[in-house]
């Protein structure tokens, strides 16, 4: 058996899990807050990755008990939370057997262009075809085409091109049609995508989400063009305005709102912002 896509991630995680000698110099540096490779003696605020993520829970407990700098409850709690990352890590495994060479190439493209996160979403949405809904031809491809036609090229990576950005843009329509109000964890960003909830919608309601979002996308792109705004090469500017026009779909935008939106667009900064900060930016935008 061979791994077509994901070999590096699988190997790295397994070597940490089994405390492999290849990772003997890789540590978590609590001062820097990141994993680093060391060439000198281990410092007091550093812990080997093979201990932190070891398959044996006792390895970490024993190590912290024997190292005073790591034994305080707050540090142990933080280490356990970090360790829990690998314990709850999810893998999507696709088995392909008895494929011709051409089919092998095609299947490789499917896996390589999707990634584990996208594969899960694709599998969920593919089931909707039985109900006459094709999320790709009826929505994501249209979204991408509209954006690309207006000169944007933030679809550089296959994952974002096929699913991530367009599906995140459905969040506002989902809220408007289902709850009628905005909740804090439903910003139009990839980390807040609601694929489970979307897949559970009645097919007609899901199509309404598509239509409402695509209509707001048209308004967004027109707004940017008409006001000669800079076309920043990231999805946030487009998706956030899509959300605004979805929530204000029945309103005629006043000159005051228009100027406020232009000012927001020209001054907002998404760089190095946490998800919490990005959600607040969106919530504040909707209040304009």
Q: For residues 143 and 169, what is the distance between their CA atoms, to the nearest angstrom? A: 9
205/279 same-domain check:
yes
Nearest to 91 by CA among 158, 13, 189: 13
User: Is residue 77 included in any domain, yes or no?
Assistant: yes
User: Is residue 70 included in any domain, yes or no?
Assistant: yes
Report helix, strand or coil for 113. Answer: helix
| Final residue in a domain of this structure, among 87, 105, 136 | 87
82/120 same-domain check:
no
User: Is residue 111 included in any domain, yes or no?
Assistant: no
User: Is residue 105 included in any domain, yes or no?
Assistant: no
26/169 same-domain check:
no
pLDDT for the residue 15:
94
User: Is residue 99 included in any domain, yes or no?
Assistant: no
Total number of domains in the chain: 2
66/146 same-domain check:
no
67/164 same-domain check:
no
pLDDT for the residue 200:
87
123/34 same-domain check:
no
pLDDT for the residue 21:
95
172/280 same-domain check:
yes
Q: For residues 169 and 187, what is the distance between their CA atoms, to the nearest angstrom? A: 8
127/255 same-domain check:
yes
Nearest to 118 by CA among 180, 160, 76, 75: 160
Q: Which residue bears the tokens 């356990």? A: 80
User: Is residue 125 included in any domain, yes or no?
Assistant: yes
Confidence of residue 129 (pLDDT cuts 50, 70, 90): confident
pLDDT for the residue 122:
63
* Structural domain range at position 257: 116-286
**Residues shown for the chain:** 288
Q: For residues 261 and 153, what is the distance between their CA atoms, to the nearest angstrom? A: 23
67/183 same-domain check:
no
User: Is residue 110 included in any domain, yes or no?
Assistant: no
129/222 same-domain check:
yes
Query: What is the per-residue pLDDT across 192-244, written as a single tens digit (0 to 9) for each?
Result: 988 889 988 999 999 999 999 999 999 999 999 999 999 998 889 999 999 99
User: Is residue 41 included in any domain, yes or no?
Assistant: yes
Query: What is the per-residue pLDDT across 164-187, written as a single tens digit (0 to 9) for each?
Result: 889 999 999 999 999 999 999 999
83/139 same-domain check:
no
170/263 same-domain check:
yes
Q: Between residues 127 and 36, which one has the greater pLDDT?
A: 36
């Amino acid at each position: 058996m061979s791994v077509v896509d994901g070999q590096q991630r699988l190997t790295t995680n397994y070597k940490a899990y089994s405390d492999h000698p290849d990772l003997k110099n890789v540590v978590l540096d609590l001062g820097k807050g990141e994993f680093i490779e060391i060439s000198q003696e281990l410092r007091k605020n550093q812990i080997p990755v093979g201990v932190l993520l070891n398959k044996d829970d006792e390895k970490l407990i024993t190590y912290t008990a024997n190292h005073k700098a790591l034994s305080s409850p707050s540090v142990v709690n933080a280490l356990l939370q970090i360790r829990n990352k690998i314990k709850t890590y999810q893998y999507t495994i696709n088995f392909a057997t008895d494929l011709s060479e051409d089919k092998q190439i095609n299947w490789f493209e499917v896996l390589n262009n999707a990634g584990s996160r996208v594969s899960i979403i694709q599998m969920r949405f593919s089931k909707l075809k039985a109900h006459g809904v094709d999320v790709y031809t009826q929505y994501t491809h249209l979204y991408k085409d509209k954006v690309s036609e207006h000169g944007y090229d933030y679809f550089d990576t296959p994952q974002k091109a096929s699913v991530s950005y367009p599906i995140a843009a459905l969040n506002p329509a989902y809220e408007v049609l289902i709850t009628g109000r905005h909740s804090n964890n439903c910003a139009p960003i990839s980390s807040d995508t609601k694929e489970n909830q979307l897949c559970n919608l009645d097919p007609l309601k899901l199509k309404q989400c598509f239509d409402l979002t695509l209509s707001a996308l048209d308004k967004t792109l027109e707004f940017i063009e008409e006001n000669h705004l800079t076309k920043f090469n990231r999805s946030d500017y487009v998706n956030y305005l899509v959300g605004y026009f979805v929530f204000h779909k029945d309103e005629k935008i006043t000159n005051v709102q228009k100027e406020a939106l232009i000012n927001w667009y020209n001054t907002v900064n998404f760089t190095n912002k946490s998800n919490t900060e990005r959600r607040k930016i969106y919530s504040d935008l909707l209040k304009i």
